Structure 1
Amino acid sequence: MTEVRLRSILDNDFYKITMQNAVVKLFPNERVKYQFINRGNHFFPENFAEELRKSVHAMADLKLTKAEKEYLRLTCPYLDLPYLDFLAGYQYDPAEVQIRQAGNDLEVTVEGEWYRTILWEVPLLALISELHYQMNNFEREPDETIIQKTHQKAEELHRLGVNFAEFGTRRRHSYKVHDLVMEALIQSKTTKFIGSSNIHFAMKYGVKPIGTHAHEWFMFHAAEYGFKMANALSLEHWVDVYRGDLGVALSDTYTTEVFFQQFDKKFAKLFDGVRHDSGDPIEFAEKTIAHYHKNGVNPLFKYIIFSDGLNMEKVTEITAACRGKIGISFGIGTNLTNDVGVKPMNIVMKLTAARSITGDWIPTVKLSDEPGKHTGDPKMIELAKEFLRIKE
């Protein structure tokens, strides 16, 4: 069996780096918990936990190289220089990760200071995914087929005339497949491929690292400041740190309806656009366009990044519905990095609790535009819906 190991500390989604920079600056003392969620009820064979522990312990040896630090300094001037010095001294601490296996069920939890533990989620999911395919002996398609399929997708997206980025780290088939896909996208010569959410591959292939913030940013703010203040304070704090850079707001942590109630004229003008990650994408686009019009903003000067379970058919439908009405871009994940002839995994890792200044653990929740994607303590979910007057 081949050992599954990360090759770089930057083999992670870019929004983890941008959020870590903000957390180091604003929330250096807060502790949090994360939990792995096996949404697809996937089968984990005997000794899976043991192999995952080996991969996790090997991450303690990862260090930011001088070349990687210089890359971040030159490419991402909005990252604070003291943060880059911090990242250069950062090391993963495997003691923050607890891994257990009961039969074919896997339990993975993370606990520690938020500024430290924030980097675990994406690499853990990528490792779990790669190990899953390897240990279950699932055979993927040949390299040539993967490259050909990627070229075909890039050509189709080019014909549609839409910008797209690769967003597939967390549920990729493997590092090898991820690398093949990135190389194929670069070779396709399409001018519409704009970058990758993976910093390591963005650096390796000379494309733009793409990302701003994730649901956990808003979930933490809800635990810290209350559900009604979560969206507004999350956006306000983001602006405090980045002063207009990284201006794409995630809209669906507590449903789009609630988000737009607080995404007022100030935020609508200041942020470059919004990201769609759950619910009907065309309905979301219509709501977004109407919201911009309501606030006196020309939606053609803004854009939506669509990133929810995209395939070529969805991209085509969304493009037809939105063309000429609002700017659009696509973050395509699993359909690029795990379209290899085996069933993609449906796994996530979510922030589950944040410790308050009184020392109490406050459960965190996410209220997606798709009720089936709600995560968190059921009692807290009902409380959030009551506070935010959400009816389903």
Structure 2
Amino acid sequence: MIIASLLDTDLYKFTMMQVVLHHFPAAEVEYRYKCRNPGIDLTPYVDEIRDEIAGLCRLRFSEQELAYLRKLRFIKSDFVDFLSLFHLQQKYITVEPSTANNGEIDIVVKGPWLHTILFEVPVLAIVNEVYFRATQITPDYAEGLKRLHSKMALIRDDAAMAGCKVADYGTRRRFSHAWHEEVIRALQKDFGQHLAGTSNVYFAMEYGLTPLGTMAHEYLQACQSLGPRLRDSQIFAFEMWAKEYRGDLGIALSDVYGMSAFLRDFDMYFCKLFDGARHDSGDPFDWGERLIKQFQDNRVDPTTKTLVFSDSLDFNKVTALYSRFKDRTRVAFGVGTNLTNDLGYQPLQIVMKMVRCNGQPVAKLSDTPGKNMCDDAAYVNYLRQVFEITSEA
């Protein structure tokens, strides 16, 4: 099976899941899958994807895995106790050819948030691996390693990049589990101090790496339904996060409503409370400048804060961003597809997004056109009005 461990996912799934267990255990949600590549026919693989998901739903956390989670300083014992009983359930997920007969497939996850939150990352990894093992029978691993070593050298062999650290964020869009592991091994062997860690909890455990991650878009989106009122949903999300983690895991996600709306809510209290913020859409250089100014305007020293860049990064962009900001703030980088799916083939741009919570539409309003995903245009327009977002994204 493609997924052999429930830890083979991103850390922020567990950090968000813990918040759900403690604060929103009754929330009901819906996720939908989308492939952004035009002309990709995935319908021949529907049965294989279903079989792999069936295997995923047979997995349980091992005692070794539970013990590892229990050692993480921010994971609480009652959450680990819950995970000891947990498994994903097939009744909450469907995989069907699209009714539009356009080669696309419809994957829908619907059920309690607490019992569905762990589907997204492994399901996307399954779709990727099923597709690539069918279309690339003899993968060019030598080309992949050549590209990987060129990337590492770009930073490792440049004295000006001495403090630059890069993390692996590539689980969901990786070429395969085996290739992902090969990348991790190469990074650990040849990238040295420049490897910050990985978002993948399984590989963090297996290779003694730092697991990295805090919150994702779905958390702030769900708070549109779970909070007291829509306009305060972003503030509510940050406050509930702080209530759970008491200052730990302090990187806020900034692009659910666009940067301008984020900065209106990220006031002096949050500037001091959080360790920094993560960029995931829009121009990263402009984002960094605006966030540094926000800290300065709120009498916070930017050199004590961290800017995390994670939007479609390649190593050239990493070096440019590091050079711009390294002397003015702390910077960190999470590289995904360009790290774990660069063997010379066109990667799949696939996502699975939350579209409803407790029966209400939810959405993000990205600073990057094409990243939004909501089937209720009236709600998106209302969200724009509430958060004073005038640009089309």
TM-score w.r.t. the length of structure 2 is: 0.94
Alignment match, 1:358: none
Alignment match, 2:217: 215
Alignment match, 1:127: 126
User: Residues of 2 paired with 1:389 and 1:289: CA distance?
Assistant: 22
Displacement, 1:231? Answer: 1.2
User: Residues of 2 paired with 1:269 and 1:288: CA distance?
Assistant: 13
Displacement, 1:320? Answer: 2.0
Alignment match, 1:13: 10
Matches within 5 A, 1:1-392: 4-74=1-71, 76-102=72-98, 103=101, 104-137=103-136, 139-142=138-141, 144-158=142-156, 159=158, 160-161=161-162, 162-225=164-227, 226-355=229-358, 361-376=359-374, 377-392=376-391
**8 A Cα contact 1:146 1:181, kept in partner:** no
Aligned residues: 382
User: CA, structure 1 residues 335+156, in 2 after alignment: closer, same or farther (shift >3 Å)?
Assistant: same
Residue 86 of structure 1 aligns to a residue whose secondary structure is helix
Identity of aligned residues (%): 34
Displacement, 1:189? Answer: 4.8
Residue 176 of structure 1 aligns to a residue whose secondary structure is helix
Query: Which amino acid is 1:179 matched to?
Result: E
User: Residues of 2 paired with 1:120 and 1:164: CA distance?
Assistant: 26
User: Residues of 1 paired with 2:219 and 2:43: CA distance?
Assistant: 35
Between stretches 131-140 and 108-117, larger displacement belongs to: 131-140
User: Residues of 2 paired with 1:347 and 1:138: CA distance?
Assistant: 21
Displacement, 1:47? Answer: 3.3
Query: Which amino acid is 2:139 matched to?
Result: R
Displacement, 1:139? Answer: 4.7
User: CA, structure 1 residues 301+95, in 2 after alignment: closer, same or farther (shift >3 Å)?
Assistant: same
User: Residues of 1 paired with 2:319 and 2:137: CA distance?
Assistant: 31
Displacement, 1:138? Answer: 5.9
TM-score w.r.t. the length of structure 1 is: 0.95
Displacement, 1:46? Answer: 4.7
Per-residue CA deviations over 1:80-120 (Å, capped at 9, x if unaligned) read 10100111111110111011014422000001100110000
Displacement, 1:45? Answer: 4.5
Residue 20 of structure 2 aligns to a residue whose secondary structure is helix
- The gaps in structure 1 that reach 5 residues or longer are 356-360
**Once superposed, what is the RMSD of the aligned Cα atoms?**
1.4
User: Residues of 1 paired with 2:306 and 2:20: CA distance?
Assistant: 27
**8 A Cα contact 2:143 2:344, kept in partner:** no
User: Residues of 2 paired with 1:372 and 1:151: CA distance?
Assistant: 32
**8 A Cα contact 2:147 2:343, kept in partner:** no
Query: Which amino acid is 1:346 matched to?
Result: Q
